[in-house]
Chains A and B, each alone.
Chain A
Amino acid sequence: MFGAMLGEAWHAMGANRLRTFLTMLGMVIGVGAVVLMLAIGQGAQESVKRSIDTMGSNLLIVLSTPPGMGGARAATGNMPSLTVKDAEAIIELDGVSAVAPTINSSAQIIFSNNNWNSSVVGTTPDYLNVRAWSLAEGYTFTDSDIRSGTRVALIGRTVVDNLFGDISPIGKTIRINKSPFIVIGVLESKGQSLDGRDQDDTIIVPLTTAQRQLFGSQFAGSVRMIMVQANSTEIMNMVEDSINSLLRQRHNIREGSENDFFVRNLTAAANSAAETTRTMSLLLGAIASVSLLVGGIGIMNIMLVSVTERTREIGIRMAIGAREYDILLQFLLEAIMISVVGCLIGLTFGISGALLINQLSQTAIVISSQSVILAFSVAATVGIFFGFYPARKAARLNPIEALRYQ
Chain B
Amino acid sequence: MDRRQFLAAKRTNPAPAPPPEQSRTQSGLNPYSGPWTRNEVQHLLKRTLFGSTRADIAYFLGRTVDQAVNELLNPTAPLPSPPINDYSPATPDPAVAAGATWVNNPTNDGTLNSQRRNSFKKWWAGQMINQDRSIREKITLFWSDHFGTETTTINFSHYVYWHHAMLRQNCLGNFKQLIKSVTLDAGMLRYLNGYLNTASAPDENYARELQELFTLGKGPTVLYTEDDVRKAAKVLTGWRINNTTYAVFFDATRHDSTSKQFSSYYGGTTIAGQTGANGALETDDLINMLFAKDEVSKYICRCLYRWFVYYKIDAAAETNVIEPLAAIFRTNNFEIKPVLSALLKSEHFFDVLNQGCLIKSPVDNVVSSLREFGVVFPNTTTEYADAYGMWNYIRNWFTNMGQDIGDPPDVSGWPAYYQEPQFHEMWINSDTLPKRNQFTDIMITNGYTRNGKKIVINAVAFTQSLPNPSDPNLLLDDALAILYRVPISATAKQTIKEQILLSNQTQDYYWTNAWNAYIVNPADTASFNIVNTRLKSLYQYLMNLSEYQLS
Query: Is the pairing of A and B real?
Result: no
